[in-house]
Structure 1
Amino acid sequence: MTSKSIPLLREIITGATGMVGEGVAYECMKSPLVESILLVNRKPSGITHHKVTEVLHDNMHDLSKIEDKLIGYNACFFCLGISSIGVSKDDYYKITYELTMHFAQTLSRLNADMTLCYISGAGTNINGSSNWSRVKGKTENDLKLLQFKQVYNFRPAFMKPTPGLKNTLGFYKYITWMFPLLRPIMPGSIGTLTELGEGMINTAAYGYNNDTLDVKDIRTMARHQP
Structure 2
Amino acid sequence: MKVVLFGASGMIGHGVLRACLDDAGVESVIAVVRRPLAVQHPKLHEVVPADFTDLTDVATSFDGTDACFFCLGAPSAGLTEAEYTRVTHDYALAAAHALLPLNDELTFVYVSGAGSDSASTTMWARVKGRTEDALLALPFHAYIFRPAYIRPRQGARPGTRSYRLMYAATSWLYPLLRRIFPKHTTTTDTLGRAMLGVTRLKGRGPRVLASTEINDLGALPLAEGKS
Unaligned runs of 5+ in 2: none
1:151 alignment partner in structure 2: 142
1:157 and 1:24 map into 2 onto residues whose CA distance is 17
Matched residue, 1:170: 164
Q: Secondary structure at the match of 1:152?
A: strand
**Partners in 2 of 1:33 and 1:128 — Cα distance?**
39
Q: Which residue of 1 aligns with 2:220?
A: 224
- Alignment partners' CA distance in 2, 1:77 and 1:164: 20
| Selected match of 2:87 from 95, 99, 119 | 95
Aligned residues: percent identity? 34
Cα deviation digits, residues 182-203 of structure 1 (max 9, x gap): 1111112111111111111111
- From 158, 161, 164, the counterpart of 2:152: 161
1:29 corresponds, among 4, 8, 21, to 21
Structure 1 distance, partners of 2:20, 2:58, is 23
Instruction: Quote the residue 1:191 is aligned against.
Output: 186
Q: Is the 8 A contact 1:25 1:197 kept in 2?
A: yes
Question: Given the two structures, how large is their TM-score scaled by the length of structure 2?
Answer: 0.90
Moved over 3 A (4+): 165-169
Counterpart contact for 1:33–1:205, Cα < 8 Å: no
- Name the amino acid aligned to 1:224: L
Asked if 1:204 is matched to 2:199, the reply is yes
Tell me by how many angstroms 1:82 deviates.
0.8
Shift of 1:70: 1.1
In 1, are the aligned partners of 2:29 and 2:44 still within 8 Å (CA)? yes
Q: What CA deviation, in whole Å up to 9, does each residue of 1:3-29 have, x standing for no partner?
A: xxxxxx210000011111112101111
Bigger proportion of residues as helix: 2
- Aligned twin of 1:6: none
Instruction: Name the counterpart of 1:114.
Output: 106
* Cα distance in structure 1, aligned partners of 2:65 and 2:105: 8
Corresponding residue for residue 210 of structure 2:
214
- Output the amino acid matched with 2:199: A
In the alignment of these two chains, the number of paired residues is 217
Query: Is the contact made by 1:14 and 1:80 (CA closer than 8 Å) also made in structure 2?
Result: yes
Alignment of 1:39-54 (within 5 A): 39-54=31-46
Which of the pair has the greater relative contact order for Cα pairs under 8 Å at 6+ separation?
A: 2
Secondary structure at the counterpart of residue 11 of structure 1: strand
Alignment correspondent of 1:56: 48
Structure 1 residue 32, shift from structure 2 partner: 2.3
The 8 Å contact of residues 116 and 152 in structure 1, kept in 2 or not, is answered as yes
Give the deviation of 1:167 after TM superposition.
5.3
SS at 1:77's partner residue? strand
The CA distance in 1 between the partners of 2:192 and 2:208, in whole Å, is 15
